[in-house]
Amino acid sequence: MSRPLFLLALNSLLLLSTALAAPKGVSTKVPRFPEDLKIINNIVFKEAGGRKLDLMLFQPAEKKFEKAPLVVYIHGGGWGGGDKYKVLRQDIIGVVRSLNQHGIACASIEYRLVDGKPTTANDAVADCKDAVRFLARHAAEYGLDPDRIGTFGSSAGGHLTLVTALGQEADYPCDPTISGPPVQVRCVASYYPLVSFVDRELMKGSNFERPQRLLPLLGGPLEEKRDLALKLSPIELLRPGSPPIFVAHGDADVVLNHSNALALRDAATAKGIPIECLISKGAGHGFSGDNIQPALAEIQARTVAFLLKHLE
């Protein structure tokens, strides 16, 4: 075999072996990173479900703090898809870039994707919490401030970021090898989230109207998994003293109705929890749509201002 053909065959074999080794639903394609961002990729924070879970860390463009505050981004994808590279989406990377310019570090994490056999949303929450716990434990190594951590997420990640910030670590199957005191999340920003697994009214007008949609998330029907559903419902986790919340949603969203954001706003306000709620007129899921108001740039600016207010 000639050398060019040998190299072509070897390359094909390597690509095939990588694809076979990848967990189901996890992309093996590494996208092109923006050249203006300082990134450390593939930091493994735990092993679970037969795979290593890792994260990518966006370091500040300039050092403006002795110890950099941190925002942990949690991707969407219906709990059963997506990966840490969704942070490069247009509606997300602008927030990361602006935070980096203000001296804030950001991380984008992997978590176990939900299939209900046996992985449920409870495991995904544990992974998100463990990523935050890992970064807090290794704060000195990466120049981070473990006392100034916020979380940020979109869609399914919008739900997970709320539960990560609002839920108590003891209520989820977190990794006991990541030791140390519980991490207190300073603030949380959430885009177009589901805020309750038990309130059927909030699921109207979306694909969650079908009860079977919750089966893989809970590992069984709601009637049998109600206690778990409550622990996975951000609106049920609100307590006086919960961290400040920023929530943004589009009023034309047919995947997750914007009534979720309004319900979260009302429940948080009733408990005295600081919350900012932004509803973009004409915006669909992912803030899609022409001439949405406010536009994406303003949504991002409001998100950044909120996070800076509570982390600087």
> CATH no. for residue 249?
3.40.50.1820
Instruction: State residue 29's pLDDT score.
Output: 65
Residue 2 inside a domain? The answer is no
Confidence at residue 28, expressed as pLDDT on a 0 to 100 scale: 53
Max Cα distance, the chain (Å): 74
User: How many independent structural domains does the chain possess?
Assistant: 1
Q: How many CB atoms lie within 10 A of CB 30?
A: 9
> What are residue 308's phi and psi, to 5 degrees?
-65, -40
Assigned domain for 26 exists: no
% of the chain at pLDDT higher than 90: 81
- What is residue 15's predicted lDDT score, i.e. its pLDDT? 35
The pLDDT of residue 208 is 82
Give the structural domain span for 219. 33-311
Parts of the chain with a pLDDT under 70: 1-29
Tell me which amino acid residue 136 is: A
CB-CB contact of 274 with 244 (8 Å): yes
| CB-based burial label for 291 (10 Å; 0-12, 13-18, 19+) | exposed
Residue 10 lies in a domain: no
Structure tokens at 235: 């609106």
Helical residues (DSSP H) of 102-210, grouped into ranges: 121-137, 139-142, 156-166
6 CB-side CA count, 13 A: 3
Q: Does 15 map to a domain?
A: no
Residue 120 lies in a domain: yes
| pLDDT for res 2 | 46
Decide if 24 is inside a domain: no
Query: What pLDDT is attached to residue 3?
Result: 41
The pLDDT assigned to 17 comes to 37
Structural domain includes residue 27:
no
22, part of any domain: no
